[in-house]
Structure 1
Amino acid sequence: MDAPDTVLRWQNTTTVSRLYMAFELGDKSWKLSLGDGRRAPSRCTVAAGDTTAVLTAVANAKARCHLSADAPVYSCYEAGRDGFWIHRWLTGQGIANLVVDSASIEVNRRARRAKTDRLDSDKLLSMLIRYHTGERRVWAVARIPTPEQEGDRRLHRELERLRHERTAHTNRIRSLLVLHNLRVKYVGGRVWTHWWTRQRDLLAPGLRGEIDRECERLALVRQQIRSLEVQQERRACSGAHPGMALLAQLAGIGSGSAWTLVRELFGWRQFHNGRELAGCLGLTPTPCASGTSEVELGISKAGNRRCRWLMVELAWSWLRLQPDSKLSHWFNERFAGAGKRLRRIGIVALARRLAIALWRFIEHGEIPEGAILKPGKVNTVKA
């Protein structure tokens, strides 16, 4: 079969004297594929994190490909557990590196195919060469945050994990109590302490000890959550980012939500239009049309899951606290009288529109039409 020539037509795809390198990162070792685009790639395995061995492999590959010592090097690896420290180290060594989204890498559609780390690194190498010879849409390249921007995301992510852990401890205690037909609505606080003091002696020592240990872990998690919430509130009020104060002015958006949206989405990412913003959130449609068959597969869910979940929650809050806004009127006219399924679909559409409205509010100062500001601000302002 002839290869399609529609992508790189009229473009000069001649490879120049440069070295390409692809990483397949593992926990114990890294697989490297290196080549110049003309010869078969060379492969080597280095210990995970051994940067000296990587530089040695680069020097050996240049010698094999008859490249000069100062020939440019282009590399790539998949975004994953190692984060961005490798990218920063490679950049410091003068190597032009790309961090690519693993979900955007081409996959053979055959039912049975060989898959090894060596094949994966070779695939990355071939796609890297295609990218640098003009095929820019061959994959999705991740935007690299600065170390400060990356560190700013730690606080709310730790809070999220701790809240999940708090729920897990609470559910575990309730499940253990149900084994003896003891049911409580809330675990923790004075009411729980008095109730548990009266009931604990009625249980077997083993079960009583397990619940006591769960209560100790729950108390520690709650203490850490309170400490991080105070820290987050203090940093938000200190003007850590002007976008937080802007978002917090709108009724229906709290300081915690404003913090997450700025740190994960608006604080360091650059969007040119609403479509790019929706794509980053994973709120873009995924139509499937082949021949006469046309099916809508829902939203892509390929973006930031934290912000996508948060925007859906804020959309419900927006309907309740901003009933006179244009966005709320749009939702009520189209979905309020429909069934539950259509309302769930509509709330996702509202979340997309709300995200775009908040982005315009931060970037251009355009207050969402009909939005109500919190007490102490202007009552109602229309864009």
Structure 2
Amino acid sequence: LAAQPAWAPAVRRLACMRGVSTFTAFGLAVEIGDWHRFTGSTIGSYLGLVPSEDSSGSQRRQGGITKTGNTHARRLLVEAAWHHRRPYRRPGAGLQARLDHVAAPVRQRAERGNRRLHQRWLNLDARRKRSTISVVAVARELSGWCWSLAIMED
């Protein structure tokens, strides 16, 4: 099904991110559907990956993530985000094979995203954040990178 003309372009581009295999990319493509209804900053809130907030006057309190939206897509992104914890020196064999099947602009964007997400993880580690907090923050940013890849033209 992932090779069907309706899904194949988005699946091929999404699979260029670390932790996102063809199966995960197809799951995201099916669960999100039309990527053009979002922006890079609204996709995270649609998936429930943004912190809840209880504010009044000058006081601002942020809580855990809202967990609204699509549970399956959120779980797929969180699982994929764990792959960005390890250093990104060069793509593995599977990722390289997927990168070979996309256009150069898509490949460059995915490379920038993969490096940025690992750097984000390092910054959160330097601030001594718990790994469960870090993975959700990386998943929120990963959702934006996936959005940017999904709406690119071939």
Q: How high is the TM-score relative to the length of structure 2?
A: 0.70
1:348 aligns with one of 126, 131, 136: 136
- Match for residue 243 of structure 1? 10
- Are 1:327 and 2:93 counterparts? no
Letter of the structure 1 residue corresponding to residue 45 of structure 2: G
Q: Deviations 1:324-366 (Å, cap 9, x if unpaired)? A: 7122012212325625xx322121111111110111012126x
User: What is the aligned counterpart of 1:259 among 26, 29, 53?
Assistant: 26
1:311 is aligned, of 77, 90, 100, to: 77
Q: Which has the higher helix share?
A: 2
Pair 1:290 & 2:80 matched:
no
Structure 1 contact 336–343 (Cα < 8 Å) conserved? no
User: In the alignment, residue 73 of structure 2 is paired with which amino acid?
Assistant: C
Matches within 5 A, 1:117-196: none
Contact kept in structure 2, 1:282 and 1:302, CA below 8 Å: yes
Residue equivalent to 2:40: 274
Contact 1:331 1:346 (C-alpha < 8 Å) held by counterparts: yes
Distance 1:312 1:251, change over 3 A: closer
Residue 86 of structure 2 aligns to a residue in which SS? helix
- Provide, for residues 110-161 of structure 1, a one-character-per-residue CA deviation record: whole Å limited to 9, x for no partner: xxxxxxxxxxxxxxxxxxxxxxxxxxxxxxxxxxxxxxxxxxxxxxxxxxxx
Q: Does 1:364 align with 2:152?
A: yes
SS of alignment partner, residue 54 of structure 2: strand
Aligned partners of 1:295 and 1:262: how far apart in 2? 34
Identical-residue share of aligned pairs (%): 30
Residue 36 of structure 2 contacts residue 151 of structure 2 at CA under 8 Å; is this kept in 1?
no
Greater strand content: 1
- Counterpart AA for 1:354: L
TM-superposed deviation, 1:239: 4.2
Contact 1:236-1:259 at 8 Å conserved across structures: yes
- What's the Cα RMSD here? 2.4
The structural deviation recorded for 1:318 is: 2.9
**8 Å contact kept, 1:283–1:300:** yes
Secondary structure of the equivalent of 1:325? helix
Shift of 1:296: 1.4
Corresponding letter in the other structure for 2:149: F
Map of 1:55-94 to 2, 5 A cutoff? none
SS of equivalent to 1:335: helix
Structure 1 stretches of 5 or more lacking a match?
1-234, 366-383
Under a length normalisation based on structure 1, what TM-score does the superposition of the two structures give? 0.30
For structure 2, the 5+ residue unaligned runs are 90-113
SS of aligned partner of 2:85:
helix
Identify which range, 281-290 or 350-359, moves more after superposition: 281-290
Structure with greater Cα Rg: 1
Matched residue type, 1:358: C
Looking at structure 2, the residues matched to 317 and 279 of structure 1 have their Cα atoms a distance apart, in angstroms, of: 22
3-state SS in 1 of match to 2:55: strand
CA contact (8 A) 1:285 1:298 kept: yes
Cα distance between partner residues in 1 of 2:5 and 2:13: 10
Relative to structure 1, the CA distance from residue 337 to residue 287 in structure 2 (aligned partners, 3 Å threshold; closer, same or farther) is closer
Q: CA deviation at 1:277?
A: 0.9
Higher relative contact order (CA 8 A, sep 6+): 2
**Distance between the aligned counterparts of 1:247 and 1:328, measured in 2?**
17
User: What is the alpha-carbon distance in structure 2 between the residues aligned to residue 244 and residue 309 of structure 1?
Assistant: 17
Residues 348 and 271 of structure 1, relative CA distance in 2, 3 Å threshold: same
Q: 2: distance between equivalents of 1:303 and 1:358? A: 17
CA distance in 1, matches of 2:5, 2:86: 28
